[in-house]
Amino acid sequence: MTTVAAPPLVEMRGVNVAFGGVHAVEDVTIDLQAGEVVGLVGGNGAGKSTLMRVLSGARPADSGEIRIDGKPVVITNPRDAKAYNIETIYQTLALADNIDAPANLFLGRELTTRLGSLDDSSMEAETRKVMGRLNPNFTRFALPVKSLSGGQRQAVAIARAVYFNARILIMDEPTAALGPAETASVRDLIRQLKGEGIGIFLVSHDIHDVFDLSERIAVMYHGRIVDIVDKADVTPDEVLGMIILGKRPKEASQTELAQLELGG
């Protein structure tokens, strides 16, 4: 790994999260540079989403430290995270189905008139602008998001994250519910955001997504980081091996690798 003079955009050090007796995240240390995509991979229950929920303020860590630009910060709820320009696209999208797209986009950060009333017209106008960039075919601004397609709902969730000048973006399975064309446009968006200097944590099951988009890949297994590797140094099969075995390629025994071959 290269050493850099400037502190990383985000550092998470020694983060622990336990649910009852189960360690969902155990002593995890990870960092993210500006303009970098770090892919976060692992099997179900590996702790990827829980780790990201710590950073987005949805689930405070039991112990550990978070630094932003080298300064320690305390994030105990989503409001704190947003104050540090950490935006999250959740796997569930976290949309309120009964209200329309502008209301969802600005939820918690509504535009108001001078008297403090909701300025729905301005919010709709801003939503039209940002959606025009992300999904030009989107026209249903006055309908509850319940009546939108999966791709349109995803677009609303993404618009919400990018509209507010995110510096740190967490994307949890951003393409899981999308068709091929929509997936391609999300990939384009990720490259564009990376170019703008935003640091992105990309949580994904899709190893090709991760190889295609990220600079570094962090593999998690049973709540721990197996390794954080530069993409150039590994093959997809080696990453797959780490995901399944929870060991670095060199540590795995020949028998285990053979079993993996057989199983694959």
Partner 1 sequence: MTNVADTAPGQAQAPPRTSIRGLIAATEIDLRLFGMLVALAALLLTFNILSGGKFFHPTNMVTLAVQASGIAIIATGMVLVIVSRNIDLSVGSLVGIIAMTYALLMTEILPDVLGLPADFPFRWVIALGMGIALGAAIGGLQGFIIAYIGVPSFIVTLGGLLTIRGFVWYLSSGAAVSGLDRDFQLIGGGAIGSIGGPATWVVGIIGSVAIIGLLINGRRQRRRFGFPLRPMWAEVLLGAIGCIAVLGVAAFANANLWPQGLANRIAIEQNWGPAPAGGWKIPTGFPYPIMLLIGVTLVMTFIANRRRFGRYVYAYGGNPDAAELAGINTRWTILKTYVLMGVLCALAAAIASARLNGATLDVGQSYELYVIAAAVVGGTSFAGGIGTIPGAVLGAFVLASLAYGLSFIGVNSPGQNIVAGIVLILAVGFDTFNRRRSSS
* Binding residues for partner 1 (CB under 8 A): 56, 58, 77-79, 82, 88, 90, 92, 94-99, 103-104, 107-110, 112, 116-118, 121-122, 124-125, 128, 132, 136-137, 139, 142
Helices marked H in 203-253 — which ranges? Answer: 207-213, 236-245
- Pick the closer one to partner 1 by CB: 132 or 236: 132
CB 95 within 8 A of CB 177: no
- Pick the closer one to partner 1 by CB: 56 or 214: 56
Smallest gap, in angstroms, from Cβ of residue 150 to partner 1? 16
Residue type, 122: S
Smallest gap, in angstroms, from Cβ of residue 55 to partner 1? 13
- Pick the closer one to partner 1 by CB: 117 or 254: 117
Smallest gap, in angstroms, from Cβ of residue 85 to partner 1? 13
CB 55 within 8 A of CB 31: no
Smallest gap, in angstroms, from Cβ of residue 107 to partner 1? 4
Among 53, 39, 75, which residue's Cα sits nearest to residue 187? 39
Cα(94)–Cα(75) distance, rounded to whole angstroms? 19
Smallest gap, in angstroms, from Cβ of residue 175 to partner 1? 20
Among 47, 45, 38, 43, which residue's Cα sits nearest to residue 224? 47
- Pick the closer one to partner 1 by CB: 108 or 263: 108
Q: Token pair for residue 174?
A: 């951003």
Among 231, 179, 261, which residue's Cα sits nearest to residue 38? 231
Among 112, 102, 113, 108, which residue's Cα sits nearest to residue 142? 102
Q: Is 8 helix (H, G, I), strand (E, B) or coil?
A: coil
- Pick the closer one to partner 1 by CB: 34 or 177: 177
Question: Residue 94: is it exposed, middle or buried by C-beta count within 10 angstroms (0-12/13-18/19+)?
Answer: middle
Smallest gap, in angstroms, from Cβ of residue 108 to partner 1? 4
- Pick the closer one to partner 1 by CB: 41 or 203: 203
